[in-house]
Chains A and B, each alone.
Chain A
Amino acid sequence: MSTGTLYDKVWERHKVADLPNGQDQLFIGLHLVHEVTSPQAFGMLRERDMDVAFPDRTVATTDHIVPTRPEGRERPLADERAEEMLTHLERNTEESGIRFFGLEDDRQGIAHVVGPELGFVQPGMTVVCGDSHTSTHGAFGAIGMGIGTSQIRDVFATGCISADKKDVRRVEVAGELGDGVGAKDVILHVIRELGVDGGVGHVYEYGGEAVHALDMEGRLAVCNMSIEGGARAGYINPDETTYEYLAGREFAPEGDEFEERKEYWESIRSDEDAQYDDWVEVDADDLAPQVSWGTNPEQVVSVDEPVPAPEDTRDPDAAESAQDHTEVTPGETMEGHEVDVAFLGTCTNGRVADFREAARVLKGREVADGVRALAVPGSGTVKRKLEAEGIDQVFKDAGFQWREAGCSMCLAMNDDALEGDEVCASSSNRNYVGRQGSTEGRTHLMSPGMVAAAAVEGAVTDVREFDTPDADLVGDRAGDAVDGAGEDAEVER
């Protein structure tokens, strides 16, 4: 068993009791709630005549079902079932005294974008949400876990979940990332190396030079996809990058309180001599941009590398049926594979830095004829910040549709969906058959810059072949903008 890791320390700190089933009762420091997986849990609570035990540890937003067309967000929503879900969430959160960021709140957005950017998520917390991508919050050195609806009921009623500790695998990513290569490429590469079920029974502690060089938005993207590798959670030890990101966020501590809290944050970092259950090294030194060719997130190649023959993969049967579906040809590269749709957004890559990355490619260029291109900011906060920088104009000038915040075409629970057998260059996290709303649709996962490049070329393209203008060319108002709380304060209330 691991000892001295962040995971061990945070777990101990939150453990309430040993349960008769042999699991631990674990206190949950932050429960993020959305409309799709919570109404049934509120219903179960009502049946038992129980209340939400810790409403102040609970934050809700609406993301999965919300329309992203600005004109489609008038109430009641055109989709009656979406309207019903939203109404339930409004009523449930109001009755329970839970803070809720609804459609009329300009901070509304995807739970995994809103939680971090408003400062709710902090190092050393336990975070759960009825969504598998709760692993995202590990970017702060928190333990973030996706849960099901019965467990949501548990958290509402008791502030706790019943859980057992996993093994801790250190994923050491060595090397320095080249231009045009980023966090999304790192995590797609890790999943390819370790497999979609390689993380079962584990949480991943990401470390190493390439990981610690990432900014917070990159770290969020890496931890977000831990679940695609089968790991229940993934985290990165907090450091100055983490603290700088947190400082000044609306719901983060301030002043002396911030400094005091930092002592806790420092104390839960993995010890130098921490013991891990497993340790793997991944080299990212010569990493090229990654693209998925198949129908699960381990079926990935470098953009300039031939798609493997099924017999050369870990699971030939799965590879063969995946290649039938995506109509890729073994031996050929993904470069040049035509796309019909470009989708930028989601809890993986819907943050400010992701849109800046794409905008550097799009500046002065246009989306190829026939390509449908959607830019869907992860939250209202992200959207307003990009608009303040003039980056929205870069997208609009290029021919992207500029949308309101939501999960959108990632899982297509709103109007945004693939049609027929459309091929999509997507910044999302899953390429399963039917994931984007059409059973014949094809999804190729890639970084935001690669999505932008694919949109421009109408085909998968190596983003490194694009001259990327300097950051200060992006948007008229970007100026010398850098990531930081002071700047955010201008657009956050």
Chain B
Amino acid sequence: MSDDAPGSAGDDAPETEEAGVPAIRRVAGTGVPLRGDDVDTDQILPARFLKAVTFDDMGEYAFYDQRRDEDGELNDHPFNEYQGANVLAVNDNFGCGSSREHAPQGLMRWGVEAIVGESFAEIFQDNCKSLGIATLAVDHEDAVDLQGFIETNPDAGIEVDVRAETVRYDGTVVEGEVPDAMREALLEGIWDTTAVMATNLDRAKAVNDGLPYTDD
């Protein structure tokens, strides 16, 4: 399984010069399992840590309340145990609730580059796309199997292939789904949409001018 060797995101991908963001074709590395359905963004990044005018410190705050015991000491939460991992394995409806981008920012700054799970909340998934984090939706059994595999083989290589929409580990290839727009954006290096949309600014102005309510 030479292809499964740990590495950084998009290490085989060229830079897209115009947009200034890298194309992301695959994420290879090790996994961190996080079990449970409906893990909401309040849990991923508790509200009190949103009182900051930059995202710089969000990595420390990811799952803050779950990563500590009653005395404030780090416990055996996966985000303490699997330091250095970059593929997060989750279950159903991950990232539901608040739209705060602080949540995926926190995961990203902790080290997450791809998330494999049963399903994702939409705003969370949009935020991931904006940050270049790949999300791959797989069947329930496949998500649980992957979590179990990581727990028994924490150092094993895992690879999320954005183009093929698969996750590979231990000779297993699991098919899943990366949303079309995310897949296209990551592969083409256009996940930062500001530059692309700014080229259509005149058309946006025309739409604005044509709307019945914009002359207030």
Interchain CA distance A27-B10 in the complex, whole Å = 32
Roughly how many angstroms separate A200 CA and B38 CA in the complex, as a whole number? Answer: 12
- The answer to whether A25 and B200 have CB atoms under 8 Å apart is yes
B40 engages A197 (CB within 8 Å): no
Chain A residue with Cβ nearest B184 = A21
| A23 and chain B: residue at smallest CB distance | B181
Contact of A435 among B42, B100, B192, B193 (CB under 8 A): B42
Q: Does A160 sit at the interface, judged by CB under 8 A?
A: yes
- Contacting A at CB under 8 A, from B170-216, are 180-182, 184-185, 188, 190-194, 196-198, 200-201, 203-205, 207-208, 211-214, 216
In the bound assembly, the distance between CA atoms of A359 and B151 in angstroms comes to 54
Interface residues of A in 134-178 (CB under 8 A from B): 134, 146-151, 153-154, 157-160, 162-164
Q: Which of B65, B193, B204, B208 is most buried by chain A, counting CB atoms within 10 A of its CB?
A: B193
Complex interface: chain A residues within 8 A of B212 (CB): 124, 260-261, 264
Question: Which residue from A201, A432, A437 sits with its C-beta under 8 Å from B40?
Answer: A432
Given A232-B123, A413-B47, check contact A20 B184 (CB 8 Å).
yes
Report whether A84 and B53 are in contact in the complex, using a CB–CB cutoff of 8 Å. yes
Interface residues on B, range: 35 or more
Do the beta carbons of B131 and A19 come within 8 Å of each other? no
- Would you call A151 and B126 a contact (CB within 8 A)? yes
Known contacts A16-B207, A264-B213; is A230 also within 8 Å of B121 by CB?
yes
A122 → B minimal CB distance (Å): 6
Q: A348 within 8 Å of B by Cβ?
A: no
- Tell me how far the C-beta of B67 lies from the nearest C-beta in chain A, rounded to whole angstroms: 12
| CB <8 Å contact, B98 and A437 | no
Q: Would you call B53 and A88 a contact (CB within 8 A)?
A: yes
B111 adjacent to chain A (CB < 8 Å):
no
Bound CA span A75–B93, Å: 41
A493: which B residues are within 8 A, CB to CB? none
Give the CA-CA distance A117 to B127 in the complex, in Å. 29
B43 pairs with A433, CB closer than 8 A:
yes
Secondary structure at the A interface, as helix, strand, loop or mixed, is: loop
Cα A447 to Cα B123 with chains together (Å): 26
In the complex, which residues of chain B have a beta carbon less than 8 angstroms from the beta carbon of A201?
Answer: 122
Residues of A within 8 A of B105 (CB): 149
With A and B bound together, what is the CA distance between A39 and B162 in angstroms?
32
Interface check B6, CB cutoff 8 A: no
**Nearest CB of B to A265, in Å:** 9
B154 at the interface (CB under 8 A from A): no
A432 vs B213: C-alpha distance when bound (angstroms): 38
Report whether A158 and B197 are in contact in the complex, using a CB–CB cutoff of 8 Å: yes
Q: Does B54 have its Cβ within 8 Å of any Cβ on chain A?
A: yes
Using A157-B197, A232-B122 as known contacts, say yes or no to A21 and B96 having CB atoms under 8 A apart: no
A196 touches B123 (CB 8 A): no
A479 interface hit (Cβ, 8 Å): no
CB-contacts of B40-87 with A (<8 A) = 40, 42-43, 46-48, 50-55, 65
Q: A154-B194, A157-B198, A201-B122 are in contact. Are A132 and B214 (CB under 8 A)?
A: no
Report A234 CB to chain B, min CB distance, Å: 13
Determine whether the beta carbon of A197 is less than 8 Å from that of B38.
yes
Q: Given A85-B51, A153-B194 in contact, is the A122-B213 Cβ separation under 8 Å?
A: yes
Query: In the complex, A437→B93 CA distance in Å?
Result: 23
Task: Give bound CA distance, A159 to B216, whole Å.
Answer: 16
B97 with A430: CB separation less than 8 A: yes
Query: Is B165 interfacial (CB-CB < 8 Å)?
Result: no
Pick the contact of A43 from B53, B96, B126, B211 — CB < 8 Å?
B53
Q: Which of A27, A37, A157, A317 contacts B208 (CB 8 A)?
A: A27
Which B residues touch A230, using CB under 8 A?
93, 96, 121-122
What residues of chain B lie closer than 8 Å to A147, measured between beta carbons?
A: 99, 123, 126
From A130, A154, A434, B197 is in contact (CB under 8 Å) with: A154
Q: A197-B38, A261-B213 are in contact. Are A37 and B181 (CB under 8 A)?
A: no
User: With a CB–CB cut-off of 8 A, which chain B residues contact A158?
Assistant: 194, 197-198, 200-201, 204
Instruction: Determine whether B4 belongs to the interface, using a CB cutoff of 8 Å to chain A.
Output: no
Alpha-carbon gap, A16 to B126, bound state (A): 19
- Give per-residue flags for A246-275: 1 if the beta carbon is below 8 A from chain B beta carbons, else 0: 000001010000001100100000000000
Residues from chain B with Cβ under 8 Å of A20 in the complex: 184, 188, 190, 196
Q: Are A413 and B51 in contact (CB under 8 A)?
A: yes
Set of chain A residues within 8 Å of B204, measured between Cβ atoms: 16, 25, 27, 53, 158-160
Tell me, in angstroms, the Cα distance from A300 to B55 when the chains sit together: 35
Q: Report B98-127 CB contacts with A as 1/0, cut-off 8 Å.
A: 111110110000000000000101110011
B38 touches A19 (CB 8 A): no
> Interface digits, A179-202 against B, CB 8 Å rule (1 contact, 0 not)?
000000000000000001100110
Interface residue? A439 (CB, 8 A): yes
A sample of 17 cross-chain residue pairs with beta-carbon separation below 8 angstroms, ordered by A number, consists of A15-B207, A22-B180, A22-B184, A25-B203, A81-B51, A125-B213, A131-B98, A132-B98, A148-B100, A150-B101, A197-B38, A197-B121, A230-B122, A261-B213, A264-B212, A317-B37, A433-B42
Q: A residues within 8 Å of B by Cβ?
A: 13-17, 19-23, 25, 27, 29, 36-37, 39-40, 43, 48, 50, 53-54, 56-57, 64-65, 79, 81-82, 84-85, 88, 122, 124-125, 130-132, 134, 146-151, 153-154, 157-160, 162-164, 196-197, 200-201, 227-228, 230, 232, 251, 253, 260-261, 264, 296, 315, 317-318, 411-413, 430, 432-435, 437, 439
